[in-house]
Amino acid sequence: MLDLLHVDCYEALPHILSLAKIRPVALISDPPYGINYRSTHSSAPNNWFQRYTDFDPIVGDDEPFDPTCWLDLAFPWIVLWGANHYMSQMPSTKCILTWDKLAGKTPCDSSDTELAYTNLDKPCRTFTHLWRGLIRAGEANGSRSHKLHGNQKPVELMMWVLRMCNLPRGTLIVDPFAGSGPIGQAAIRYGFDYLGIEKDAKHFTTLQSVINKELKQPHLTDPYETYQNAIAADRKPAAKEPAEPKTAIQQTLF
């Protein structure tokens, strides 16, 4: 199942609840944070040095985000980005997911990290992936791609989020604030069904384009098997760097 809805996500709640009665559902989304954010990046490709705002304001970002109704759904897996902006409304949790956006680079005007609230029963985890203005790692590298959404996040981050959830086969990913669709891309690559909901007409058109393009990509192996292999790879300890040879003095002393 893959379904995209151009509606207010709150109007879709009865539909979401009906699906949750017949199958496992994971709620994973990046809602508006209530900070009235305006991107200063251009949406035009190859526009490295031109800084101006041509993204429309994010729908719903001009008022505080209330996570209550989504938490009340009590799904087994809940991940909501922007947690630091509405943490006072959230219950305590064992696991906060952190995205390190600098990857060792110098800070800029944007946040060094972003936080996601979860109900996962595991320790806090951190994902490092460079995303510093036009300097972006991975598929959205600024030299060959352009931003599709003022608050866009990398698909690599969302793939990591899915791995942190360790979902069973057949889980439906519900994304009520779909934006440009990186969660949907991650769901498709790992073999999960996806329900993406986007209220903004322009972003919904982008969402459709991104998801349709993703669906055309070939899968050489079972996507869910790929997912399980990626989880296993995450659990392997990092390879140790080769030790530098000891100097003559070190050899004498140690």
Which pLDDT value is given to residue 108? 80
- Whether 146 and 44 have beta carbons less than 8 Å apart is answered as yes
DSSP state of 43: S
pLDDT value of residue 185 = 97
Number of H helices, E strands in the chain: 7, 10
**pLDDT level of residue 48 (50, 70, 90 thresholds):** very low
The pTM of this model reads 0.84
The pLDDT-based confidence of 63 (bands split at 50, 70, 90) is: confident
Mind listing the pLDDT tens digit for each residue in 130-161? 988 777 888 776 555 566 655 779 999 999 99
166: left (phi over 0), alpha (psi -120 to 50) or beta: left
| φ and ψ of 174, to 5 deg | -105, 125
Closest of 233, 151, 231, 235 to residue 191, by C-alpha? 231
Domains assigned to the chain: 2-253 (3.40.50.150)
* Pair 104, 132: CB distance under 8 Å: no
**185-219: pLDDT as tens digits:** 999 999 999 999 999 999 999 999 999 999 999 98
How much is the pLDDT for 233?
Answer: 95
Question: What's the pLDDT band for 50 if we cut at 50, 70, 90?
Answer: very low
pLDDT by residue (tens digit) across 10-28?
Answer: 999 999 999 999 999 999 9
pLDDT score, position 52: 41
Counting Cα atoms < 13 Å in the Cβ hemisphere of 81 gives 23
Burial tier of 99 (Cβ tally within 10 Å: 0-12, 13-18, 19+):
buried
pLDDT at 223 over 90: yes
Phi, psi of 157 (to 5 degrees): -65, -45
C-alpha radius of gyration, the chain, whole number: 20
pLDDT above 90 for 107 = no
Cα separation values, 102 from 112, 128, 188, Å: 6, 8, 27
**SS3 state of residue 2:** strand
